[in-house]
Amino acid sequence: SSELTQGPAVSVALGQTVRITCQGDSLSRYYASWYQKRPGQAPLLVMYPKTNRPSGIPDRFSGSTSGNTASLTITGAQAEDEADYFCASRDTSGNYVVFGGGTKVTVL
Amino acid sequence: VELVESGGGLIQPGGSLRLSCAGSGFLVSSFDMSWVRQAPGKGLEWISVMYSGGDTYFADSVKGRFTISRDQSKNTQFLQMNNLKVEDTAVYFCARRRGGSDWYFDLWGRGTLVTVSS
């Protein structure tokens, strides 16, 4: 089965920009989606294929993709953006989903 | 529009548990629905999908032990978990799948905690 690789953690100063990356073979065939996960809360979709923001998600969140790498960028990070972020895509088999290991974003 | 999971609890290894995912504001049976879990301190793990047409697929980690069913009259999907293992301990979320070729989950429940321990 496919795997998606994310860096474990990143920190960003309040108001600055941070980019989270997600790499995997499945991304050369399928686009990624991104989820924000705070402790004790349901995952929240923040970016869906192909780099679209759901209604209600601030425009400081943006997505991009190149080859087998997807990226989520937060431009002007806010304190409330501190959370774990997970990428996901359809598996190369077509009937499964694979999640990245998650990146913990700390806003300083 | 929301999803609400229930049925979690403490269960001994080898035991069984049935989780429910009740939908409101939309028909659960009209969408492909997945279960995703998060073990303590770990990431999200996709474990299953039931297509609107009824076909089901499971991750290798639960294949042969977990099954899915649904009750249209209750607008609810069920995850039957048998032969539970300690490593099945997690918060279990149900999620609505969208997208054609590229999948994503636009609606999630708040989850229900399953603890497998003796």
pLDDT of B32-83, one tens digit each?
Answer: 999 999 999 999 999 999 999 999 999 999 999 999 999 999 999 999 999 9
pLDDT tens by residue, A42-99: 999 999 998 899 999 999 999 999 999 999 999 999 999 999 999 999 998 888 999 9
A95 Cβ under 8 Å from any chain B Cβ: yes
pLDDT tens by residue, B101-114: 999 999 999 999 99
Nearest chain B residue to A90 by CA: give it: B103
Contact B3, B108 (CB under 8 A): yes
B111 Cβ under 8 Å from any chain A Cβ: yes
B4 Cβ under 8 Å from any chain A Cβ: no
